[in-house]
Structure 1
Amino acid sequence: MPRRKILAPRTVGEVLTELGGVYRDARKGRLDTLDASRLSAILNILRQTLESSELEERLCHLESLMDEKRDHKNTSEAAEVPRDQWPCLQGAGGSERNL
């Protein structure tokens, strides 16, 4: 039987789903509790990383909006800055996650 490629969770929701699966498998005896503990620790690190990345992206967006508003203080509303032009994401590859 060919091995199926396992993709890393890419969102906090996907991590929580995986954590639930690890919990259920350990409770039903399909996964050793030591292995479940190790997998849970890895998943929690991944969750924290994804949360930090999402917060950084949101903060960057707010900073871009503030910069744009500052640049256009004579107008009543600042124009939306496209995500690929956010200064804080320039050269950092954005928030693309290659996990």
Structure 2
Amino acid sequence: MTRKTPILAAALATLVAFGALAQEQFSETKLEAFALAANELTTIRQAAAERIDAIDDPARQQEIMAEANAMMVDAIEKAPGITVEEYNEIVVAANQDPDFAERLGALLSAN
């Protein structure tokens, strides 16, 4: 049991360091660009969900999902100040760091 404690402590320290890194990794400008793009993606997702809910044909539902995915990629690519890769990196960082996710959530609410 004693041997596991240092390993767990090291793992926890790594996670804490990653969380701090995630928050410092992205500039405020980058996070604002993310928030604008994320809000556009929410609009696209909601519209697609409404269309999918109104259709019983699974093949057509798949087509609508594919169209929505393409629209979301396009929206990110057109968003000023952020790439699809950066957008995804921010999503991953938010999923791994609750404090960063909370900060990001506040920024999304403000936009």
Normalised TM-score (structure 1) = 0.39
Give the structure with the higher percent helix: 2
Larger Rg: 1
Normalised TM-score (structure 2) = 0.35
